[in-house]
Amino acid sequence: MHDYHLIPLGWLLRQHGHANRMGFFLHIPWPPTRLLVALPDHRRLVESLFAYDVVGFQTEEWLESFRHYVTHEMDGTLGPDDEITLGARTIRAIACPIGVDAKEFIAAANGKAAKSAQMRMLESGVGRSLIVGVDRLDYSKGLEERFAGYERFLQKNPDRRALVYMLQIAPPSRSAVKSYRDIREHLDAMSGRINGEYANIDWVPIRYVNQGYGRDVLAGVYRAARIGLVTPLRDGMNLVAKEYVAAQDPYDPGVLILSRFAGAAAQLPEALLINPYSADDIADAIDRALRMPRAERRERWQAMFDNVRTQDVIWWRRRFTDALQAAALEA
């Protein structure tokens, strides 16, 4: 079972007599104990996770938060091999960061559609450095803070304004929900104001697009970008960061600017890690990325690429299912 919507499903299946192996993977962050206790029925929610044999989290930080709650709020005990016992139930709780299909994405980045998209971006940019962001239109992605950080860069570097441009791809999500409509309205207003204040007759600082594109096209856009801007306020993993790394030209890679509050930051420390709430942090990272020499860009990219390639989605699946099989054998 996957993600928070289905946390109680394992418990319900056990009530119906299902005795087979079951695992649960949480794609979002697990909250610290001080926040989780504010949730109604938090204890019952956590108890339901003990219906599974294996529970997986994206990072060691989320796993440690889960362990802290179980041991401090429920008197659970920790055992060897990632075991946690609560009453009569013992489960395995593991950190198991999800990856991308690296082999497929690397191939896509070298395919015909990607090369066409890359050339379109390079030609339309007329020599300017591209900064790209690709996110669902969601409050957790920090898009308003990202626009504010980019604007701060424009303010602090007037001599470099026309040398860069930002492409933000943000397909709408949950359009029927008012809070999501509000986000879109705010971003529409921010992008319009920034473009109106800083643009000139042959350049606009932001290209803001509210539609989605296929992975092969995105791979070409990523490869054309000097900077990948991935700045969620909080994220379980964020696979855009890994896709950006996978798509880069090994000879002349771009620079990943990554929120330290994304799960991917634990695996990709060679990115420029920033506080997404700080406009100055974002602006300074953009400036540093644009000035970074090729040798440093290649060194940082190679370390990240090695992780993306080895700990891919196949590695993630095998790590979880191996733990699930081992837990069932022990039981």
- Cα→Cα distances 91→7, 51, 254, 321, 325, Å: 15, 8, 42, 14, 12
Angle formed at CA 118 by CA 116 and CA 122, multiple of 5 degrees: 120
Residue 138: predicted pLDDT: 86
235 is catalytic: yes
* CATH number belonging to domain 102-309: 3.40.50.2000
pLDDT at 51 over 70: yes
4-98+313-330 against 102-309: fold identical: yes
User: CB-based contacts of 3: which residues, under 8 Å, 6+ apart?
Assistant: 25, 26, 27, 28
Active-site residue, from 53, 138, 235, 281: 235
Asked if pLDDT for residue 331 goes beyond 60, the answer is no
Amino acid occupying residue 200: N
- Give the mean pLDDT of 89-100: 96
Q: 27 an active-site residue?
A: yes
pLDDT at 261: 97
Report the CATH fold assignment for 4-98+313-330.
Answer: Rossmann fold (3.40.50)
Please state the domain extents for the chain: 4-98+313-330, 102-309
Assess whether pLDDT exceeds 60 at residue 20.
yes
* pLDDT attached to residue 329: 67
Among 27, 101, 249, 287, which one carries the catalytic annotation?
Answer: 27
pLDDT over 70 (residue 171): yes
Provide the pLDDT for residue 290: 97
> What span, in angstroms and rounded, lies between the C-alpha atoms of 282 and 102?
27
- Output the pTM of the full model: 0.94
